[in-house]
């Protein structure tokens, strides 16, 4: 599958915290931590585990820009 989302940041899973319905999955991407809030179902279906290679995928329209004042 190829996807239209412009941002695919490759990294490694460093933490998974499942909640009641929503899980937080943290990746190390070149030394920066990226956190995703996804469904518990997705964690199970993709068999996500700490140490696995994975990518953070973000649609451009969900990215904001910030600058120092």
Q: What are phi and psi of 59, to 5 degrees?
A: -70, 140
Among 15, 9, 2, residue whose Cα is nearest residue 63: 9
**Site pattern 2..31 for a second copy (x: CB under 8 A):** xxxxxxxx-------xxxxxxxxx-x-xxx
| Closest approach of a second copy to the CB of residue 17, in Å | 6
Q: Does 50 bind a second copy (CB under 8 A)?
A: no
Q: Does 51 bind a second copy (CB under 8 A)?
A: no
Hey, what are 27's tokens? Answer: 């990746």
Is 6 in a helix, a strand, or coil? coil
Q: Which residues bind a second copy (CB under 8 A)?
A: 1-9, 17-25, 27, 29-32, 34-39, 41-43, 45-46, 48, 52-69
């Amino acid at each position: 599958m190829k996807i239209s989302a412009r941002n695919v940041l490759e990294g490694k899973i460093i933490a998974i915290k499942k909640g009641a319905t929503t899980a937080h999955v943290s990746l190390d991407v070149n030394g920066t931590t990226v956190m995703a809030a996804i469904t518990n179902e997705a964690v199970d279906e993709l068999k996500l585990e700490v140490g696995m290679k994975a990518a953070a995928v973000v649609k451009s329209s969900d990215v904001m820009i910030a600058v120092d004042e």
